[in-house]
Chains A and B, each alone.
Chain A
Amino acid sequence: MIASFYSPDDLVALWISLKLAAVTVALLLLLCTPLAWWLATTRSRLRVLGEAMAALPLVLPPTVLGFYLLLFLGPYGWGGRLMHHLGLQPLSFSFGGLVIGSMLYSMPFVIQPLQAAFHAVGTRALEVAATLRARPWDRFFTVAVPLARRGFITGSVLAFAHTLGEFGVVLMLGGNIPGRTQTASIVIFNHVEALDYSGAQRLSITLLVACFILLLIVYSANRSRAEVAAVA
């Protein structure tokens, strides 16, 4: 039934979108957790700089981000030359390149909820854990992370949904290669260009419903206790 609703190309594109979103979120959680922790706890003046840089992708036009990534990751950019030295293909026009672009593009959606959640955990709960013999890493994983749970849920879901709908960065960096870098949002654009409105409709309604469900998850996770109290 699914196969009769979607064309094979649609399905491949949807699969690439899902895979891209999943990989992006997983890597972002690894990268952003320590960054958000640092932003939430540091007293350094560098924090402002970090916050501004982490929020930059929110306001930057995706085409700008994609353009600079293309220069950087292309065969003549630093990133491309580094890959060449390592005996690897450049990341532009590849799935790996899309992942890097998506990570930059969706990073604020993970960092900001995490930073707010870690900030709400505060220092007291961690001090309590220290007086109960917990070492620093132990405190982080058994107190800070569970208390910041909502931040993790919110960040993951928002970044996932945001990556699903990404267009500009992918187009600039990925180049619309079916089966490799062609995501659902780009296929929608192609359908419209070819005046295949029903094709565009099928994928659009899919993304619309998916994003709505994801947002429902975020808001229901944050519903029960709006304020995340670290200690009660």
Chain B
Amino acid sequence: MSLALDIAWSRADFLLQVECEMPSRGITALFGRSGSGKTTVLRCIAGLERVARASVRFNGEVWQDQRRFLPTHRRPLGYVFQESSLFAHLNVRGNLEYGLRRVPAAQRRIGFDQAVRYMGLESLLKHRSDQLSGGQRQRVAIARALLTSPQLLLMDEPLSSLDLASRREILPHLERLRDELSIPIIYVSHEIGEVMRIADHIALLEAGRVRAFGSIHEMLTRPDLPLAHLEEAGSIFDGVIAEHDPRYHLSYVDTAAGRLAISLRAAPVGQPVRVRIDARDVSLALEPPEHTSITNILPGRVMDVTDDRDPAQRLVRIDVGGRPLLARITQRSVVQLAIAPGLALYAQVKSVALMD
């Protein structure tokens, strides 16, 4: 089960050379700067761009190779464009039904009412597209794509044209899609915050090439990649709400790294959540810290120590319960504590943020 790409495309000032195999489950972020070729890759997958030397295979089915080219309308995919793309001559219901009607009844896995409920569109069905806000339009566009019961959902920076409030309105809907419909999503973005929140895998694009591909945990923390050196670099951990402690106004999240305390949440026990730990919020101690105000202390083992952008800083990657945790500490501390690969130590986490 995978999406295998082999694309070679050159234009006067741009060379795209992408060879990559992505898992066809979860959310894979195509991450890179603008101009790195993200959108072109997505358009090749969809068949909107017809690149002569390209091969696209989805779950063993050939969408394109040297001899064959399956036109877009025959590929079982959904596409959400960057800017609003609703048909101006149809109202919301007409837009939603456009794709639905063109899928044979036997192949429909997502019903009209279901998609409307998922995206919260019940009250908007009779509206014209120019009566909707940006966030509402994108929700309609996503529901419209879902209604073709796609086996693969392609999203080209679906939130980038929206304000912060609209983004917050849509993100939970995307997470529900991932968790409940199990449709694989390829998600183009240049916003690391967005990617950290929803992606399971990252394909890092640089100047038309896939620099690296891997799980989000690995990609965010690999010291040889730029993501670990971003100002907002950090690690993420997936877990479930384990317990609430109203007395101290805390909730506990069980993750592979151990139990983490976060500010009290209304979320029910057992709900899957993702937390983020910024590298600059992690300090290291050789002994189990006592008499400290830090609540979250995780035992681990140093994987590697690397230079950071700031020569005074070092980036330390620590294995905690099989997951990498990133710490940004001073070079002086690295020397004084003799921090080196293999050393067992304790990571003190000053702040854990729930991603919502």
Contacts and interface: CB of A to CB of B under 8 A. Distances in A.
B103 A232 contact: no
Interface stretch (A2-10, A30-38, A123-131, A160-168): A123-131
B97 to A, nearest CB: 10
B85 A125 contact: yes
Given A133-B103, A134-B102, A232-B130, A128 B72 contact: no
| A-side interface mostly | helix
Contacts of B263: none
A131 B72 contact: yes
Interface stretch (A41-49, A141-149, A204-212): A141-149
16 contacts: A124-B81, A124-B85, A130-B72, A131-B46, A132-B73, A132-B98, A132-B99, A132-B148, A133-B73, A133-B103, A134-B98, A134-B102, A136-B73, A229-B88, A231-B88, A232-B84
Nearest to B74: A133
B99 A133 contact: yes
B77 interface: yes
B81 A133 contact: no
B144 interface: yes
Given A231-B84, A232-B84, A131 B89 contact: no
A128 B81 contact: yes
Contact of A134 (B46, B47, B73, B89): B73
A132 B85 contact: no
Contacts of B23: none
A158 interface: no
Interface string B83-101: 0111111000000001100
A106 to B, nearest CB: 27
A231 B86 contact: yes
A149 B85 contact: no
B145 A131 contact: yes
Contact of B48 (A130, A133, A229): A130
B87 A143 contact: yes
Contacts of A229: 88, 130
Contacts, number: 72
Contacts of B98: 129, 132, 134, 142
A131 B103 contact: no
A231 B87 contact: yes
Interface size class of B (residues with CB under 8 A): 20 to 34
Contacts of A136: 73
Contact of A149 (B72, B73, B89, B137): B89
B129 A132 contact: no
A135 interface: yes
B85 to A, nearest CB: 5
B89 A127 contact: no
Interface in B314-339: none
B48 A232 contact: no
A230 B129 CA distance: 11
Contact of A232 (B74, B86, B99): B86
A209 B196 CA distance: 67
B79 interface: yes
Contacts of B84: 231-232
Interface string B58-80: 00000000000001111001110
Contacts of A134: 73, 98, 102
Contacts of A149: 89
Nearest to B132: A232
Contacts of A230: 88
Given A128-B87, A132-B144, A142-B98, 19 more contacts: A125-B85, A127-B48, A129-B98, A130-B71, A130-B73, A131-B79, A131-B148, A133-B74, A133-B103, A138-B102, A143-B87, A146-B89, A229-B88, A231-B84, A231-B86, A231-B129, A232-B84, A232-B86, A232-B130
* Top 8 A-B residue pairs of the complex, sorted by shortest distance between their CB atoms: A132-B99, A131-B79, A133-B102, A130-B72, A146-B89, A232-B88, A232-B129, A232-B130
B356 to A, nearest CB: 30
Interface in B135-193: 137, 144-145, 148
B95 to A, nearest CB: 9
A130 B77 CA distance: 10
